[in-house]
Amino acid sequence: MLGRTLREVSAALKQGQVSPTELCQRCLSLIKKTKFLNAYITVSEEVALKQAEESEKRYKKGLSLGDLDGIPVAVKDNFSTAGIETTCASNMLKGYVPPYNATVVQKLLDQGALLMGKTNLDEFAMGSGSTDGIFGPVKNPWSYSKQYREKRKQKSHGENEDSDWLITGGSSGGSAAAVSAFTCFAALGSDTGGSTRNPAAHCGVVGLKPSYGLVSRHGLIPLVNSMDVPGILTRCVDDAAIVLGILAGHDPKDSTTIQDPVKPFTLPSLTDVSKLCIGIPKEYLTPELSSEVRSLWSKAANLFESEGAKVIEVSLPHTSYSIVCYHVLCTSEVASNMARFDGLEYGHRCDTDVSTEAMYAATRREGFNDVVRERILSGNFFLLKENYENYFVKAQKVRRLIARDFVNVFNSGVDVLLTPTTLSEAVPHTEFIREDNRTRSAQDDIFTQAVNMAGLPAVSVPMALSSQRLPIGLQFIGRAFCDQQLLTVAKWFEKRVQFPVIQLQELMDDCSSIFENEKLASVSLK
C-alpha cells in the first residue's frame, strides 16, 4: 500500500480496502524503523493519529474531502505549523512553536491530509547537502537500497557498510528522504536555488518547483523573498500535479501570489509529442558534468526526437554568470531577512542583558551557524552605500539579462527545456564535506538556480540508475505559469523511462507486511 500512487491509495481509502488509521500507523512504524536516516526532526504522532481518526469518520459517512483525505504527508521544517515546533534546523528557532499554519500547510490540512512530521534540512535552507543543520545530516535511503549495496559488495568486501553513506542533496533532503523511503506520499520542500529539485534527483523522486507567484509563501520562513517557492516532492509526476492543484492559487496573505484564477487539473496522458519543441541549452554542457549524467541527458533528448518531437539546441548566454548573480542577490536578501532574529519576540535569546546591541550580537552568534552568519556578513557588504550600485544593483541587472535569456528561448518556439538537475549522482558524506558549504552550493546549484532567478516552473524527474546503482534525475523547465504543460511533458517522460523502485525490503524485514501483496512496479532488477 505504501508504494502506491496518491490516486491509488485515495481509491483504496474510498473503497475501504485500508483505513486512514491503518495507513497512518504503517507510516509511523516505518518512520521509526528508518530513524537512522534522520529525515524527520519532529514526528507529530498524536496529531497524525487524531487527523486519521477524523478522516476515518468522514470516509465512513462517504464524505471524503478529496484526493488527499487521509494521506500521510510531511512538511519541511521551515514551514510554520501551529502548535508544532518549527526550527529551520537552527538553534535560533529551537523550541519555537508558531501560532499559525503556513498557508500551504493549512491547505493540506483542509484537504484532510495527515501531518506525519517536520523534516530535516540545512540550517535555514542554506546548503545543498542537508548536512548543515543542528540535528545532523540526512542520509540518502539509496545508501541502504539492495541495488546500491549489491553493487558495492562486488567492489569491496567486509567494509563497514554504514561508514560511507550518501548525502540526500539539499536543502530539502529530509523531505526527499521521507518520500523516497515510503514514510509519506508527498512532502513539502522549499526551492530558492534548487533546494527541492537537487535532493529529488539524488533520492530518486519527483521534485517540483512551481512558478513564482503560483503558490503562497505565507508561513514559509523566508530566505530570498524574490526567489523562494514552496516545492513539492512525490514519487510520481501525477501525484505532484494533484498536490499542486491543491496548493496553487491566490492568497490574500501573500501579495506576491498572482490573482489569476487557478483550478486543480488532471494531467492528460500525452501520446503524441510531434508538436512539442524541446530546447537543450548548450551552456549547460559544462566540463564538471559527469559523463554518466551527460550520456543520460543525451539519451533523453534522443528519446524525444525518436518519438517525433522537435529537439533543438538553444542558447542561454548569461548562464555562466547566474551563479555569481545568485550569490550576491541571495546573500543580500538573506542579510535583510535574518535581521528579524534578534531574540526579542521569538526564538533564542542569550543570557546577557547589558545592552541591545550586545544582546543581539550574542543571540545571533549563539543562534546561527557559520554558514548563515557568513551569508549575512557578505550580504551586508554588498548592501553598503559604496557597494550598492556595483554589486546589488549590478546583480539585479544581470538577473534581468538571465530572465530575458529564457524569455527569448521560449519566444523562439521552445515549449520546454531539458537539462541535467545535478552534476552527478549522490556522493558519500565523507567526500561532500571536503569542501565548504558555499563552494558546494555554488557547484551543485549550477543547473537549478537560474530558474529561480527567472521565476519559472521546473521539475526534476528520476530517469535511471547510474553505474553505481544510484538515481540520476533530469530537469524540465517550462514557461512561466505553464506548470500544467511542464508536468504533462514530465509525465510522458516518466512513463517512457520507467525508473526502478527502490528496494529497501532487506533493511526492513519485519515490515514485510507492508510490502507483501504489493504489485509494485519493480520492473527490471538492475
Nearer to other proteins, 86 or 180 (CB): 86
Stretch in the footprint of other proteins (CB under 8 A) among 188-196, 235-243, 256-264, 416-424? 256-264
- The angle formed by the CA atoms of residues 205, 140 and 176, to the nearest 5 degrees, is 35
For 273, the grid coordinates are: 509529442
Indicate if 171 belongs to the active site: yes
Binding part of the chain for other proteins, among 127-135, 240-248, 321-329, 459-467 by CB under 8 A, reads 321-329
Distances (CA, A) of 33 to 37, 38, 52, 296, 322: 9, 11, 21, 34, 41
> At residue 270, what are phi and psi to the nearest 5 degrees?
-65, 130
- Please confirm, yes or no, whether 275 is among the known catalytic residues: no
Site membership for other proteins, residue 381 (CB under 8 A): yes
Q: The cell 483505513 sits on which residue?
A: 19
Tell me: does residue 134 bind other proteins (CB under 8 A).
no
**Please, how many CA atoms are within 13 Å of residue 394, restricted to the half-sphere of its CB?**
13
In contact, 148 and 204? CB cutoff 8 Å = no
Q: Which stretch binds other proteins (CB under 8 A): 145-153, 262-270, 306-314, 342-350?
A: 342-350
**92 in contact with other proteins (CB under 8 A):** no
Question: Which helix (DSSP H) or strand (DSSP E) does residue 49 occupy?
Answer: helix 45-61
> What single string gives the DSSP state of each residue in 204-250?
TSEEEEPPTTTB--TTBPPS-TTT-EEEEEESSHHHHHHHHHHHBS-
Residue with C-alpha cell 559527469? 290
Q: Is 358 in the site for other proteins (CB under 8 A)?
A: yes
Q: Does 258 bind other proteins (CB under 8 A)?
A: yes
Which of 331, 421, 424, 460 is the binder for other proteins (CB under 8 A)?
331
Q: Which of 353, 509, 510, 516 binds other proteins (CB under 8 A)?
A: 353
- Least CB distance to other proteins at residue 399 (A): 5
How many residues are listed for the chain in this entry?
A: 526
Taking the least distance from each CB to other proteins, the nearer of 37 and 328 is 328
Active-site entry in 90, 172, 195, 378: 195
> Which residue stretches of 281-318 are H helix?
291-306
If binding is defined by CB under 8 A, does position 214 make contact with other proteins? no
Tell me if residue 513 is catalytic.
Answer: no
- CB closer to other proteins out of 69 and 251: 251
Q: Which of 10, 55, 171, 441 is catalytic?
A: 171
Contact call for residue 346 and other proteins (CB under 8 A):
yes
The beta-carbon contacts of 248-254 under 8 Å, at least 24 apart in sequence, are 248/210, 248/214, 248/215, 248/483, 249/214, 249/215, 249/216, 251/103, 251/216, 251/218, 253/103, 253/216, 253/218, 254/103, 254/216, 254/217, 254/218
Asked whether 376 and 338 are in contact (CB, 8 A), the reply is yes
3-state SS, residue 128: coil
Least CB distance to other proteins at residue 115 (A): 20
Q: Which one of 32-40, 266-274, 370-378, 491-499 is the stretch in contact with other proteins (CB under 8 A)?
A: 370-378
Q: CA dihedral defined by 406, 407, 408, 412, rounded to 10 degrees?
A: 100
CB 345 → other proteins: shortest distance, Å?
A: 5
Give the nearer residue to other proteins in terms of CB position, either 350 or 501. 350
Q: Report in angstroms how near the CB of residue 359 gets to other proteins at its nearest.
A: 5
- Binding string to other proteins for residues 452 to 471, with x set by CB under 8 A, is what? -xxx----------------
Q: Which residues are registered as beta bridge partners of 255?
A: none
Task: For residue 288, state whether it binds other proteins (rule: CB under 8 A).
Answer: no
For the residues of 346-376, what is the DSSP string, one character each? SS---S--S-HHHHHHHHHHHHS-HHHHHHH
Footprint (CB under 8 A) of other proteins, residues 393-422: 393-401, 403
Pick the catalytic residue from 76, 107, 118, 139: 76
User: Which of the residues are catalytic?
Assistant: 76, 171, 195
Binding residues for other proteins, rule: CB under 8 A, are 96-97, 99, 212-213, 226, 250, 252, 255-259, 318, 321, 324-325, 327-328, 331, 335, 342-347, 349, 352-361, 364-365, 368, 370, 373-374, 376-382, 384, 390-391, 393-401, 403, 438, 442, 453-455, 480
